[in-house]
């Protein structure tokens, strides 16, 4: 196993949007899931309910998601509206989209191209596996969603430390009813998002860019 420092792991993680089909070995995946189990949570409630899809089930789910997407049958457990972003948040969101589409050579007005790119989410970007992060519903759900977010970062970083790529996808949470139906998950469990993962295709254009970060002065205030 490669031994990366924590700094190397956190700074080298990037969202991967084209994977090789090589599966992740079961013992490696179990190690990642065991690492993620050490995530902190409010009152140690450990509210993560994780469903991993691979093989024939992944293909079945991909088909069902593409079908729902093409028919516009979305079913979100939590709202998502890109128009809610404002000021610098909207600027960053626009910059991210521009960088991504430019890396693929898709022009601004190319609606068909954009639709094709959106669809790649439901093909899991060719990843051999995807994890779906479900949660029970408590109160306004903000605390539990933050626990799931922390779990997701543990999962992503553990994958990175083992040379495995990943991408968190809100898109995969936009068809929660479809996912519940195909995986036989109870309606009580709410879907926050999914994560596709596997070995990165290092040659792919979709993986050729890195999103920057603002300096800490833009978001940290020191008080003493
Ligand atoms: C919760 C969450 C959901 C995301 N959903 C999507 C998605 O549906 N599709 C996608 O292509 N990227 C998605 N992303 C990836 C972000 O665009 C990416 O994290 C951001 O641009 C920063 O780039 P980096 O991950 O390469 O550092 C998501 C990221 C997070 C944290």
What is the Å distance from ligand 1's center to 16 Cα?
A: 9
Q: Flag whether 117 is in a domain.
A: no
* Burial readout 109-130 (b: 16 or more C-beta within 10 A, e: otherwise): eeeeebeebeebbbebbbbbbb
Ligand 1 binding pocket (C-beta < 6 A) is 14-15, 17, 96, 121, 167-171, 193, 211
Q: Flag whether 91 is in a domain.
A: no
Q: Kindly give the confidence (pLDDT) of every residue in the chain, 224 residues in length, as a single tens digit, with 9 standing for 90 and above.
A: 567 999 999 999 999 999 999 999 999 999 999 999 999 999 999 999 999 999 999 999 999 999 999 999 999 999 999 999 999 999 999 999 999 999 999 998 999 999 999 999 999 999 999 999 999 999 999 999 999 999 999 999 999 999 999 999 999 999 999 999 999 999 999 999 999 999 999 999 999 999 999 999 999 999 99
What is the Å distance from ligand 1's center to 148 Cα?
A: 15
Nearest to 207 by CA among 20, 3, 53, 9: 20
Q: Flag whether 180 is in a domain.
A: yes
- Say what angle helices 111-120 and 55-71 make with each other, to 10 degrees: 150
CATH code: domain of residue 21: 3.40.109.10
Q: Flag whether 175 is in a domain.
A: yes
What are 193's two structure tokens?
């998002």
Nearest CA to ligand 1 atom 31: 168
Q: Flag whether 106 is in a domain.
A: no
What is the Å distance from ligand 1's center to 112 Cα?
A: 21
What is the Å distance from ligand 1's center to 15 Cα?
A: 6
> Given the CA of residue 171, which atom of ligand 1 is nearest to it?
8
Alpha-carbon distance 96 to 219, whole Å?
19
What is the Å distance from ligand 1's center to 167 Cα?
A: 6
Residue 152 is classified by DSSP as: H
> Given the CA of residue 192, which atom of ligand 1 is nearest to it?
1
Q: Flag whether 93 is in a domain.
A: no
- Give the total number of structural domains in the chain: 1
Nearest CA to ligand 1 atom 8: 169
- Give the domain extent around 186: 6-81+123-203
What is the Å distance from ligand 1's center to 168 Cα?
A: 6
């Amino acid at each position: 196993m490669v031994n990366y420092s924590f700094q190397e792991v956190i700074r080298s993680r990037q969202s991967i949007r084209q994977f090789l089909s090589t599966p992740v070995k079961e013992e490696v995946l179990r190690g990642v899931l065991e690492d993620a189990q050490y995530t902190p949570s409010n009152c140690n409630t450990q509210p993560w309910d994780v469903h991993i899809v691979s093989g024939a089930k992944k293909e079945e789910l991909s088909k069902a998601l593409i079908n729902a997407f093409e028919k516009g049958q979305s079913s979100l457990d939590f709202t998502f509206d890109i128009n809610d972003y404002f000021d610098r948040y909207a600027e960053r969101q626009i910059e991210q989209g521009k960088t991504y589409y430019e890396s693929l050579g898709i022009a601004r007005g190319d609606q068909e191209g954009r639709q094709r790119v959106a669809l790649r989410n439901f093909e899991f970007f060719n990843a051999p596996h995807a994890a779906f992060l479900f949660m029970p519903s408590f109160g306004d759900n903000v605390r539990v969603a933050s626990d799931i977010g922390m779990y997701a970062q543990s999962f992503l970083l553990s994958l990175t430390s083992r040379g495995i790529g990943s991408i968190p996808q809100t898109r995969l949470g936009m068809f929660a009813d479809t996912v519940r139906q195909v995986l036989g998950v109870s309606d009580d469990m709410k879907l926050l998002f999914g994560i596709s993962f596997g070995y990165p295709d290092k040659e792919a254009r979709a993986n050729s860019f890195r999103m920057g970060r603002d300096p800490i002065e833009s978001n940290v205030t020191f008080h003493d």
